[in-house]
Structures are given as C-alpha cells and as structure tokens.
Amino acid sequence: MDASYLTSPEEALEHFKVDEQQGLSEQQVQSAIERYGRNALPEDPPTPLWRLVLEQFKDQLVIILLGSAAISFVLALFEDGEGWTAFVDPAVVSTIDSDYVRTALTRDQILTILVLNAVVGVSQESSAEKAIAALQEYSANEAKVVRNGALKRMKADDLVPGDIISVAVGDRIPADCRILSIQSNSFRVDQAILTGESESVGKDARALKDSRAVKQDQVNMLFSGTTVVTGHATALVVLTGASTAIGDIHESITSQISEPTPLKQKLNDFGDMLAKVITVICILVWLINIQHFNDPSHGSWAKGAIYYLKIAVSLGVAAIPEGLAVVITTCLALGTRKMAAKNAVVRSLPSVETLGSCSVICSDKTGTLTTNQMSVNKLVYLNESGTDLEEIDVQGTTFSPEGDVLSGGKHMNDLAASSSTVLKMTEIAALCNESQLSFDPRSGTYSNVGEPTEGALRVLVEKIGTPEPAMNQAARELPIHERLHRTSKYFEEKNALLATYEFSRDRKSMSVLVGNGPQKRLLVKGAPESILERCTHVLLGSNGKRASLNGKLASLISEEVVEYGKRGLRVIALASVEDVGSNPLLSSAKTTEDYGRLETKMTLIGLVGMLDPPRPEVAESIRKCREAGIRVVVITGDNQSTAETICRQIGVFGNREDLRGKSYTGREFDALSDSEKLGAAQTALLFSRTEPTHKSQLVDLLQSSGEVVAMTGDGVNDAPALKKSDIGVAMGSGTDVAKLAADMVLADDNFATIESAVEEGRSIYNNTQQFIRYLISSNIGEVVSIFLTAAAGMPEALIPVQLLWVNLVTDGLPATALSFNPPDHDVMRRPPRGRDEALVSGWLFFRYMVIGIYVGGATVFGYAWWFMFNSEGPQITFWQLSHFHRCSSRFPEIGCEMFSNDSAKAASTISLSILVVIEMLNAMNALSSSESLLTLPLWDNMILVYAITLSMVLHFALLYTPVLQTLFSIVPLNWNEWQAVLLISIPVIFIDEILKFFERKIYLPKPLEIRAKRE
C-alpha cells in the first residue's frame, strides 16, 4: 500500500482486512508471507576474492606492466647458457651478466608492483558491500505486535503488511507504518537518518490530502529505522523489507555501478597512448637495424635479428615508467596523511585527487555549513512606552554556556538582576525546558541532550545568570564546564515543578506548572502566533509594567516575528499566567484541549530569536571555492526561507540578489520538465525541502553536464547520492551507512575542511603530473639515447644494467620526493579541470619530448665527445665510431679493442653521469609545472633536496667503489671529465625555464578570467 498517508485509518485497515484490536490471524500471516516475503533487506552474496583480484588487472598501465614482465621472461630464455635458470632469482645465480640482471630484476620489480596494487585495490572494492551490510543496523530487532487478539513480542523480520504494532519512546520503527491512533499527548519521531531533518517530527493520525507530499510532510507515517522520541502510538504495517523507504536506499546502493575516478580514467588513456608509442618504437628500431643483422660480430643473420629484437624490446621496456604506480600510490597516501591532519579521513586513495578536480560541491546545510547547534542571539520585549521594541543581543554560536549579553552595545553581566522582564524570560527558559547540557572532557566540547531549541534556551539561561550578582560573580570564576546548570538549578530550587503540559501540534506550545509556596504559576513557551492570540496582557519595559495587549502592540510584535523569520531566525514566544491556582482545570487536565484552556488569558513576556548559526569560517571557504571556479550548491531538508537566509549569510547568495531560478524547493524541482531540470541543476545554488531521491537526481544531471561532483551527507538517506557522486563526503557525526558509502569522512563536520581538501587534491594532481613528467621525460631520454645509438650504428652508450640502476635507484628517490612538493601559489585561483581533460595534454607531451630529446641527445653526445674530442681519449672520427661493427675490416690500424675495454667503459660512464646529473636538475625543474625556480625555490621542498643529495651520493659510490665499478662496467671520472658532464647537463634548467615562461603566458588562465567565466 504505497499511498497510505492519503487514506484514513479506517480505510487503511479495510485495505488489509484487519481489525485494530484483533490483528491478523495465523492464516492471514501465512498468506502475507507468501505474497510479500520476510521483513528484511535482501542480502546479495559477497563478491568472490578471485574476482576482486582479477578486476585489479584490467587497468591499462597494469596490462602494459604485465606485458613487460612477460617480455622479460621470454628474453631471459635467449640468454646464452642460461635456459630455464633465467627464471631463478638473481641472488642465487653465481654468474650474472648485465643483460640477465636487467631482465630478472625488471621482472621482479614489475611483479612486486602488480601484487601491491592488487592488495590495495581489493581492500577498497569492498566498501560498497560494507555500506550495504551497515544498513542492517537500522532495522529493529523486535516489535510489539497484535495477533489473534493478543499483544506479543516477536522478531521484526516476521512482520507482514497488515500487522498492528505498538511503539513507544525509544523504540525503533520496524517497518513503514500508517499511524492509527496516538495514546499520548504528543508523539514525535527522530527521522534524521532518513530525511536529514535536524529536529524530531510531530506525528498525528489524520489523513493527508496532498498526493505529492514528501516524506517530511507525511506526518501520519512512521518509517523503518527511525526512532520514537516522545509518546506512544498504535500503527498499521503497510510496507516491509525492500519496499520500505530504507529499502529504497538499499536498492539505490546495490544498483550503483562504480565509475572510474577522473585520475584512473586519465591514467588509462595515458596507458593506451603509451602502449601505442612503445609498439611503434619497438618496430621502428628493429626495422632500421635490418642492415646490421649480417654484421660479423653477430655470427649470423638470425642471431643479428634476435640481438636487435632484444634491443628494440629493451628500448620499449625502458619507455615504461615502472615506478609510476608506486609513486602515485605514495603521493596519494601522503595526501591522505596531510588531509587527516586537517580532519579529513580518506577511505579511498583515488578520491584524494578526485576532490581536486571537482567543479561542483553539493553540500548539506545543517551541521556542515552551520554548527548544528541552535543558539539564541536575540531577546526582544516591548519598551516602556509600548511604541517600539527593546532588543538584546546574545553572543556565542554553540552549546557552550559562554558568550556576552549586550544591551545597546554594552556588556550586561547581571541583566537578570537589573531587569525584571529579562528575569521572567530567563525563568521560563530554565523551567519550561526538558533538555540537559553535557561536556566531553576528552574533546573539550559541549552537546545537548534533548530538543535543539530547548538546548539553546538552556544555554541562554546560563549566559544571563541569576538575579543575585554575588552568585554570578562566583560562577564566572569557575571553569565553564563546572557551571553548566548553575543558573538553571537556582531557578529549579526557587520554584517547585508541579506538572508538565507537553507540546502538541494543535496549540503549538508547552507549559509547566510551578509553585513557590501557595502561589502557582503557569510558564508557557511556543509559536508566537499561537501564544499571541491567547494573551490578554503584555509586559512593558525592563521593569515589567503589565499592560493590556491591544491590536497596536500585537501588530508591533507580529511584524518583528515576520522580520526575524526573513532573517532566518526561529522565534519562540514566552508567556505566563501568574495566578493559576484557582483554575479548576488544574486537577482534571488530561488532554491537549484541556492544556489549551489552561493556557489562556496569558501575559506575554517577550520573544526569543534563535538559529542554527553558520560556521564562522564557511563564508571565507565559499569565497575561495568561487575563486577556484567551484560552484557550491546547498541541498537541505529545511524550509526554503531559512535556507535562503543562511545562504545569504555565508555568501552563496548576495544580500540583495534576486533568487528567481537560483532557489528551488523539492516540489518545485519535481514540477519542471526534463530540460528545465537540467537547466536548474546547472544554474541553481539552493535546493530546499528535498528528499534523498532529489540528491541522486541532481548528481546524475550534474554529471551528465560534465561536472565532477562532490556530495556531502550524514544520514542513511544520503548513502545513494554519496555512492553515486564522484566523491562522497560523509560527516564524522553521521551514520555508519553514510561513512561506508563515502570516499572521505570529515571528522569535524566542517565545510572549510572540504575547501582545504580541494586545495590538497589539486596539489596532488599537479605533483602527479610533475613526477609523471619527470619519469616520462627521463624514460624518453633513455629511449632517445638507445634509438640514436642504434640508428647511427654506434656502440651502446648505456648498457641495460646501468639503465636499471637509474630507473630503480637514482630516479626513484627524487620521483617519490616530488610527492612533497608545495602547492603552487595560484593553485586555488585556477579553474577546475574538465572531466575529459587529458592527463598529458598536447602541450605537456611537447614539453616531455623537448626535455626527453635533450636528455637522450646529451647522453649520446657525451659518449661521442669522449671518443672524438676528449684529450685523453682515442680522438677518432664520427664515421669510425658509427661503423664500429666493421672495425676489423674498415680501420684495422686502429683496432676494435677500444670499443670493449676501459675506453668504452669511460665513455659509457660519461653518458651515465650526464644522465644522472640531468635527471637531478630535471627533478629541480619539476617543483612546479609553471612557477620558476626563482619564485618557488628548491628549498621549499627539503625532502627533494635530501633525495637529490642521496642520489648523487649513491652515484659517487657507484663510480668510486671497485666492486660496483666491475658490476656496472664503469670507471672513475677525473675533474676534466666532470666539467664536461656539468657543461652538457646544466642547459636543461634554462630550457625548462623557457618552457615554463610560455606556459605562464599562454596556457595558464588568469584568475580574473576564471571569475568572469564562472559568473
């Protein structure tokens, strides 16, 4: 029965053929079980571990690495004299040549990387299943059910539509139910996990007429998983299991298809491009060397073909940034540590970068943009002449009982002693109140136990103090947490609480009967319009002169209530009946109608204005988001006027901005056509009075427009949208379902933390680009070096074991250190990256190629320089160097020994040293993609300084340690040779500074252009 809120209790009972007193019979129950099934959320079998592991190997870069490992295994088979021993770990092989070390170590490195990536991936893939499992926590375990005329306790799983249940304070609702009758004066339910409403909802049994009523307005319905706060009621089960509101959320989570994050998609695209480039390079190098297959040094054409095939494949493998996956994981992990220090706990590593690319942040209002701690900031009463209102300002925005009270801009320490009107207001706030404040010594924070509005009034009482200045002075000398209820207890001791008349929707007020000796008074608080119409008198001025409440005075107060409402304040009126002891109703009042008759001929004391205040840091964060080109969209279950006021206060809207087309209620949004909804999603900044489905709908619309969407939430109702968005951000105080569905959890529930995380995400993306640039340009340099020597017919300038040392050790340290790069100074003044923007754009690829070509050319030039121009070298011609394979026949007078003895090792050492030094300088260039080393100096990343120093120490150890000289086929360099190395290497800094200049002038958008584009 889907629309039971439109039917009367009698019609709902008739639909299920059940009697409220008798309940279902056993036969009816069996029939219902067969028709509707058990009252439980369906459980899907968990994804097998083998499938999760297999999924991790579908990544493009992983496929390339797998192919590289396979090639390395195959090449190992062609090592002379090795056979299948080539697959044995190098540590157990006594005789190792450099090619073998190259292939064996490369295999081991690649396979280790793949295993690590798979472990990380599998651990993250299970988050959705955990979120689904956590939903079970919100299912009631037991229920009180009427069956066969008897009330019994039974498992909630056994409930069926048509069952009659009884619920009371503290009970969790076991299924979606239609209220039949309420047996208490009031009945309220906490629906926060489902609707996001910060206050409990009053319920009644009357049928609704609005067929489009959202769940917040379905006041005759009880929803599965919500909790009864006050009262006792009887209800009819109408929906169970997957058909309930919480079942809809379960379905939304299970139906989500995880899309790859922007970074993952870009890495896949980059992998595709890399695979194509590597394939072309391998084929090209093999083909251009066909003429050398028959060179005498190979022995035969077939062996020559295999030799150049190995060179081609080695060249292709050299182009692969084997350490890229590990460095990216390291960078993201470092990002999570930085963000954890800022109260953002990251559950999924890729989400760190994704947040940096987000273009829209969809934020909840309550608790994220606001403190979720109602606080009184205005006290109002009529002045002595009755011509205007006196307004008292109250400072403080949390449940902490501290804050100044200002009257006319002056601090008032003992206002209750100097103003009898304020004293009466304080007394009502203290006694007509069922909330309690609590203090957590571990976190040093204050919280409220009870209704938020009553908590705000309790804090107000403690701020104003007692009418005794000496007691107030003594209290001010105590620590704040030791005077939590000091003033409240003062009033409680002076006035005995005789009765409480609970709040009811019809009279919109609550009251307490207090006595002090023979005198009995009724203290009342409630909605201003309801209180005003039952008041006959009013207090004037701070001394509380009692006067008749005429139309002029009532109009003055009503206008102030309307004005406060426009400013987002919730207004509560305070009133009293001074001599109620003679009223005969006191002894017989049982119903809300009786309470209403007691609350008549009242005297209005004054008004209290309160609100859930914006967090003080939010306005600045939203300004920064706007500068960064990020649109902040507020989505809330609260009413439209309150939400609009808060949005004006925090800068989402201007103070006088026309909100037509920028602010919609959930109902207004539903009434739009599909094209209008898309337009609203692209331009509106506020959606109020929304339901969970609206959030998911907005995420779909925004993503279809190419936006990268971050969504915040804290309730079970938010889980589908959190899962669907590009990055879900849950609140630390939220439900486990929301946290498990999210990618990130804000420990402090603060929007400003999101803005900080966006900056960190952008910095991580920039750093990712920088170390990709560093690794790829280095690898391109190695490829160019191998390609040039092969194309020119020269000897190998760098042998495989040397390249492996550079890739694994020398490059690895600075690449990892680049993860610690500081953010660029203008990182939050750039527009968000487009969803389809390539990780390596055409300009970046051009930069990679320029630097890579210089690196490769420099290493080959250094090798040739030693043979041709070094005063201590053989000083042969380039023709002789490029025809070394035929040295015995073309230039026998010189001989071939120089191409295999220490001369060749010296030339190769020059090339290796040039490669290492250039890559250290290149790491310095990679501090920023656009900022010069003059504005972002090297010492801004001291980790990089240490990494470069350690890499150079390791290189010197390689050059000047005899054992390593033998293993890596190198010799020590003298000072003249080091001068040549430095002269050939240093130009890379000036080349990159020129490229950075062009990037700043041509490719980077200016901040003013960003603002104009977004506005």
Pairing mode of beta strands 709-713, 727-731: parallel
Token duo for residue 339: 């963000």
Token duo for residue 765: 């993306």
DSSP letter (8 states) at residue 149: T
CA–CA dist 222, 215 (Å, integer): 10
Q: Is the dihedral of CA 184, 190, 191, 193 positive or negative?
A: negative
Could you give the 3-state DSSP secondary structure of residue 79?
coil
Burial tier of 896 (Cβ tally within 10 Å: 0-12, 13-18, 19+)? middle
Element (H, E) at 924: helix 902-925
CA–CA dist 666, 635 (Å, integer): 10
Q: Which residues pair with 176 in a beta bridge?
A: 239
Phi first, then psi, for residue 226 (nearest 5°) are: -80, 170
Q: 579 CB contacts (<8 Å, ≥6 apart)?
A: 519, 520, 521
For the chain, the first-to-last Cα distance in angstroms comes to 47
Q: 103 CB contacts (<8 Å, ≥6 apart)?
A: 72, 73, 75, 76, 79, 86, 800
76-84: long-range contacts, CB 8 A cutoff, minimum separation 24: 76/100, 76/103, 76/104, 76/107, 78/306, 78/310, 79/103
Using CA atoms, how far residue 232 sits from 23, 142, 508, 592, in Å, is: 18, 16, 19, 15
Pairing mode of beta strands 535-540, 545-548: antiparallel
CA–CA dist 850, 784 (Å, integer): 11
CA–CA dist 530, 507 (Å, integer): 7
Pairing mode of beta strands 744-746, 727-731: parallel
DSSP letter (8 states) at residue 1000: I
Q: Which of 59, 158, 295, 364 is catalytic?
A: 364
- From the CA atom positions of the chain, what is the Rg in Å? 38
Contact of 710 with 754, CB cutoff 8 Å: yes
User: Nearest Cα to 854, choosing from 791, 928, 914?
Assistant: 914
The DSSP result for 293-339, as a single string, is: TT-GGGSSHHHHHHHHHHHHHHHHHHTS-TTHHHHHHHHHHHHHHHH
Could you give the 3-state DSSP secondary structure of residue 514?
strand
Q: 170 CB contacts (<8 Å, ≥6 apart)?
A: 227, 228
Element (H, E) at 239: strand 232-239
The amino acid sitting at 612 is D
User: Nearest Cα to 662, choosing from 691, 692, 682, 637?
Assistant: 682
The DSSP result for 480-529, as a single string, is: GGGGTTHHHHHHHHHSEEEEEEEEETTTTEEEEEEEETTEEEEEEEE-HH
Burial tier of 249 (Cβ tally within 10 Å: 0-12, 13-18, 19+)? buried
Q: Other C-beta atoms within 10 Å of 816: how many?
A: 19
Could you give the 3-state DSSP secondary structure of residue 937?
coil
The DSSP result for 408-463, as a single string, is: TTEE-S-HHHH-HHHHHHHHHHHHS---EEEEETTTTEEEEES-HHHHHHHHHHHH
Residue whose token pair is 């051009």: 846
Q: Which residues pair with 512 in a beta bridge?
A: 500, 523
The amino acid sitting at 448 is N
CA–CA dist 952, 949 (Å, integer): 5
364 is catalytic: yes
Could you give the 3-state DSSP secondary structure of residue 812?
helix
Catalytic residue positions? 364
